[in-house]
Amino acid sequence: MMRVPLCFALVALLAGCAAKPESASPVAEPQPAPPDAIERLVARLSASRGLWLNGVTPRIDLPATAPVADVVAQLFQKSAPAVGAVTRHDIIESRQVRIPTHPADIGPDATYTAVLVDTNLGRRVVLMQYGPPSGGWWSRSYDAETSI
């Protein structure tokens, strides 16, 4: 008679050991941060093998030492995106990026300043670079959400 309750106790004990506690949650693996607007633009332009350089851009006649804010302001004064004129802009971030025009491109010509800008038209990414062939600042503005 003693064997039946002992058997049930042993089965209950084994079942309890095998079950996972309800309160324990699995440890989640850290997920990489999604690419930001600048990273997405750089990836897209890099994949185009330099085709993105085609087209007309305004020449900005400022010295190489000009502040980023001055170059951005002149770009928006001299050109307007297809959706209208930029009448207000605030710089959120700027950093150096490398956009090769072909797989072997590792020279200084592949380095640009990328500027994330909040405008009255939404967020934009401005790419700019001083030097040839323009002799001043080359710059172009991209919609941070739809054109990337």
Half-sphere exposure of 121 (CA within 13 A, CB side): 18
Q: What's the pLDDT score for residue 69?
A: 97
Is the pLDDT confidence value at 88 over 60?
yes
pLDDT tens digits, residue range 32-84? Answer: 656 799 999 999 998 887 888 888 888 899 999 999 999 999 999 998 777 78
**pLDDT: is 25 or 141 the higher one?**
141
DSSP type of residue 36:
-
How is the chain split into domains, by residue range? 56-148
CA distances from 75 to 34, 49, 60, 98 (A): 29, 24, 7, 21
pLDDT value of position 38: 94
Residue 11 — very low, low, confident or very high, per pLDDT cuts 50/70/90?
low
Q: What is the pLDDT of residues 91-148, one digit of tens each?
A: 999 999 998 876 665 555 789 999 999 999 999 999 999 986 667 899 999 999 865 4
Higher per-residue confidence, 27 vs 119: 119
Q: Give Cα separations from 79 to 55, 60, 84, 146 (angstroms).
A: 13, 11, 10, 19
